[in-house]
Amino acid sequence: MSKSNKVSSLFTAKKIAIPVIIGLCVTIYMLYSNTDWTEFSKVSWGAKSFAWMLVGLLMMCLRDLAYMYRIRVLTDNKISWRNSFDVIMLWEFSSAVTPGIVGGTGVALYILNKEGLNVGRSTSTVMLTALFDQLFYIVTVPLVILMVGTENLFPVELQKEIFGVVFSVKGIFIIGFVITLLFGILFVYGIFIHPKGLKSLLIRVFKIRFLKKWQHKMEQVGDEIIQTSKEFRCKPFSFWLKASLATLFSWMARFCLINFLILAFTPVGDHLLIYARQLVMWIVMIISPTPGGTGVAEFAFEGFLAEFTPIGLAGLLAVLWRLASYYPYLIIGLLILPKWLKKVYS
């Protein structure tokens, strides 16, 4: 199937409707069963509350601006600011309508290619974007754990069966972090040290009988890693600094949104612990089978962060969080997708 057919099959009315319907059902449930409207009526609304909510929305704008800046850096400014907005919004849109573990990578390759980058450079850009995101997580998690410890990091008794083994939240988090760490090490080794060696390793591993059907795909991945290495290993320090800072600002802004939403309702005593809990939540959302983590994200918010919210309002805050961080990308994506398709095919 061609990339264009993949994109067309992804952006169908049915696949877009699924996260919307799930989200509406979860929202109604959260507002009806998990929200104490008597407590809500006691909230003291004022300029301070609205100001913190506005700052939260500004965090989302900063996040998107940082992503736009990073995509321009990684493409040597070959994509304009206007077009980088389309790229990021459609990338987020594709992530919003696919399960977290799938993401919008395939669509991102197609979008960048249609914006004028050749296939090799599109692949290299997406691969390096994934590497920066992984490195942020790999570096941030140990630092945050050193500062807050692990005693209060896993507050909920959530279990999931993986390959027949039942894991707690702590177990899921450790598995997710180790997998992210291994992928990060492989990417760094392949891009900066020995790309051909990594390709050979992948091919040897996927010669194993039960993995053999993916061997051809791994050969393609190996070629993409070699291409990425050629494109980026000789870049100056300023290139890596700019892309790293953009990644830092984008992820910090993403996580700070919740802190500011909670501040709009109640004082916050431990911002760092809220931030740390979100690092764990992110792993849970990544393995979600629902598009964009819909449903899972709202319940994860209540499980991880209810103790920081006013009693009876965790469900409402979870809905507000998703209204600010998820649904705008569905709406913006639907608005710009027809115009973008018309532009690239004209």
198 C-beta neighbours (distance < 10 Å), count: 21
Three-state SS at 44: coil
Q: Mean of the pLDDT values across residues 9-31?
A: 79
Q: Which long-range contacts (CB under 8 A, 24 or more apart) does 317-323 make?
A: 317/261, 317/262, 317/265, 318/30, 319/27, 319/30, 319/31, 320/261, 321/257, 321/258, 321/261, 322/23, 322/27, 322/294, 322/297, 322/298
More confident residue, 43 or 83: 83
Element counts in the chain: helices (H) and strands (E): 15, 2
Q: Tokens standing for 257? A: 């949104």
Whether residue 157 is predicted with pLDDT greater than 80 in this model: the reply is: no
How far is 50 from 53, CA to CA, in rounded Å?
Answer: 5
Judge contact between 221 and 126, C-beta under 8 A: no
What are the residues whose beta carbons fall under 8 Å from the beta carbon of 66, sequence distance 6 or more?
A: 246, 247, 249, 250, 253
Whether residue 16 is predicted with pLDDT greater than 80 in this model: the reply is: no
Angle at 85 between CA 81 and CA 86, to 5 degrees: 120
**Which of 72-76, 150-154, 161-165, 256-260 is predicted with the least confidence, judged by mean pLDDT?**
161-165
What are the residues whose beta carbons fall under 8 Å from the beta carbon of 181, sequence distance 6 or more?
A: 138
How far is 304 from 10, CA to CA, in rounded Å?
Answer: 32
Judge contact between 197 and 229, C-beta under 8 A: no
Supply the DSSP string of 168-208, one letter for each residue.
Answer: -HHHHHHHHHHHHHHHHHHHHIIIII-HHHHHHHHHHHTTS
For 101-148, what is each residue's pLDDT tens digit? 556 677 888 888 888 888 778 888 888 998 999 999 999 999 998 998
Confidence of residue 1 (pLDDT cuts 50, 70, 90): very low
**DSSP label at 306?**
G
For 171-187, what is each residue's pLDDT tens digit? 888 888 998 899 889 88
Q: Mean of the pLDDT values across residues 209-214?
A: 76
In the block, which residue shows the tokens 């067309």? 8
Q: Tokens standing for 127? A: 């691969």
How far is 284 from 34, CA to CA, in rounded Å?
Answer: 21
- pTM equals 0.87
For 249-290, what is each residue's pLDDT tens digit? 999 999 999 999 999 998 888 899 999 999 988 887 877 777
Distance from chain centroid for Cα 182: 18
The mean predicted confidence, pLDDT, of the chain is 84
Three-state SS at 166: strand
In the block, which residue shows the tokens 């392949």? 190
How far is 95 from 240, CA to CA, in rounded Å?
Answer: 25
What are the residues whose beta carbons fall under 8 Å from the beta carbon of 176, sequence distance 6 or more?
A: 283, 286, 287
**DSSP label at 22?**
H
